[in-house]
Amino acid sequence: MAASPCLRGVLMSVALLFFVASGCRPAAHDEDGISIEQTIAPQPARVGTETISFRLTDASHQPVSGAHVQVEGDMSHPGMAPVFADATEVSPGSYTAQLPFTMGGDWVVLFHITLSNGRKVERQIGVKGVESN
Ligand SMILES: [Cu+2]
């Protein structure tokens, strides 16, 4: 019976932690409001310069214009230098970047997005099986 007050204390702490954690979610959801939809051409992706076209939309599916986006390509194994390309906005919310894939294999492409209001958003996609020349 002596354990009971202690157990109550633990339960209250857990409940408090849960409350605090729940309170953080709206911010994360706000950041998740930005969606990215991309195409890579030509296909299949191969070593050399590929054009990455992507569209940014907000939580209400409106185009996100005026963002500065740096695109970064990485491979998972050590000793590979990342490759970079700055994206150009070709029409409101639609951007393209010329990314030089320097080796065949699986890549991860990161989008470092700075919105027009200065807020930073990161997105990433996997580009698997880039073909060697
Ligand atoms: Cu590599």
Q: Ligand 1 centre from 68 Cα, in Å? A: 27
Q: Ligand 1 centre from 89 Cα, in Å? A: 29
Residue with tokens 């990485």: 74
Same domain, 109 and 84: yes
Same domain, 73 and 90: yes
Same domain, 96 and 108: yes
Same domain, 42 and 85: yes
Same domain, 22 and 57: no
pLDDT at residue 57, as a whole number: 95
How confident is the model over 34-71, as pLDDT tens digits? 999 999 999 999 999 999 999 999 999 999 999 999 99
pLDDT at residue 5, as a whole number: 57
Same domain, 20 and 75: no
Say yes or no to pLDDT of 131 above 50. yes
Same domain, 65 and 41: yes
Q: Ligand 1 centre from 80 Cα, in Å? A: 5
Same domain, 80 and 25: no
Same domain, 21 and 38: no
Average pLDDT over residues 65-86: 95
Q: Ligand 1 centre from 96 Cα, in Å? A: 23
Helix (H) or strand (E) holding 129: strand 120-130
- Here the CATH number for the domain that contains residue 47 is 2.60.40.1930
Same domain, 65 and 22: no
Q: Ligand 1 centre from 106 Cα, in Å? A: 8
Buried-exposed string 23-44: b where 16+ CB fall within 10 A, e elsewhere:
eeeeeeeeeeebebebebeeee
Helix (H) or strand (E) holding 50: strand 48-57
Domain with 109 in it:
33-130
Domain count, the chain: 2
Same domain, 15 and 71: no
pLDDT at residue 4, as a whole number: 56
Q: Ligand 1 centre from 113 Cα, in Å? A: 24
pLDDT at residue 77, as a whole number: 87
More confident residue, 5 or 93: 93
3 CB-near residues (< 8 Å, 6+ apart): none
Q: Ligand 1 centre from 42 Cα, in Å? A: 20
Q: Ligand 1 centre from 123 Cα, in Å? A: 21
Same domain, 16 and 46: no
Ion ligand 1: protein residues whose beta carbon lies under 5 Å:
75, 80, 103
